[in-house]
Amino acid sequence: MSFSDYETALVTGASSGIGAATVERLCAEGLEVHAIARREDALKELADRTGCIAHKIDVTDRVALSALTTRVQFDVLVNNAGVDKPKKFLEADEGDIDLLVDVNLRAVLHLCRLVVPGMVARDRGHVINISSIAGAYNFGGNSSYHATKAGVSMLSNQLRIDAFGKRVRVTEICPGRVATDIFAHVHGDTPEIRERFLDGFELPEAKDIADAIAFVIAAPVAVNIGHMEITPTLQVMGGLQTAKPKTPYSGTEGRG
């Protein structure tokens, strides 16, 4: 299956970064691309530049999503929208947890619920979930984000089982650090944040992730690229830490 087998695509989180680059690439491949995001001005600029069809929709708005997916049959679904509120889970706020679950996981579940049955009925389609290396690897201070991305990872695996016997492909793409404005959105657009995450690093760009998405879509019909990690060459996951206790253990703690 290649781009010529598909006609329509839906991309969430399309106003900037990986989402905008994906919209641009899929439009260049000749698909009718519907771009979803909250920032109307950025969507308008994207539509003017690429010819995509822009929709100012929050991915948590199930009524609006249902109306769109009822109107249009989508051959390609790119679940890209995501948020982060980095902090240790011991300090997590109720609202932060709800936001991450609603945007990073619940919206993906509902969009797949709305779109994938039609793909199965037509025996044609491709779901691409933009997850994260955080779905598989541990690093500090981001537990809620890790949990939601792990959920997307398992959903991606399960969708292939649920669509078994049909030509519906599912790809999970797990980026590491990518040179986008996500760090400014999450931490603030300051020189300190740019130095911490971007300046001086050799990083993949949003266009590189869009190229990877195009690559998996363009694979032959018999090929499903199920999982792809894309990280900087100079980034590794993992590491081992061992802590020393701050106080000695006496064996009497907790006894009455």
Catalytic residues: 145
Distance between CA atoms of residues 12 and 173, nearest Å: 14
Write out the DSSP string of 184-252.
HHHH-S-HHHHHHHTTT----BHHHHHHHHHHHHTS-TT----EEEE--TT--------PPPSS---S-
CA neighbor of 235 nearest in space, from 137, 141, 128, 151: 137
Contacts made by residues 165-168, CB under 8 angstroms, sequence distance 24+: 166/119, 166/120, 166/123, 167/1, 167/123, 167/124, 167/125, 167/221, 168/116, 168/119, 168/120, 168/123, 168/124, 168/125, 168/126, 168/127
Q: Which two tokens stand for residue 252?
A: 């009497």
Question: Hey, what are 116's tokens?
Answer: 């994938």
Sign (positive or negative) of CA dihedral 108, 183, 96, 231: positive
DSSP 8-state code for residue 125: E
> Whose CA is closest to 214, among 14, 79, 24?
24
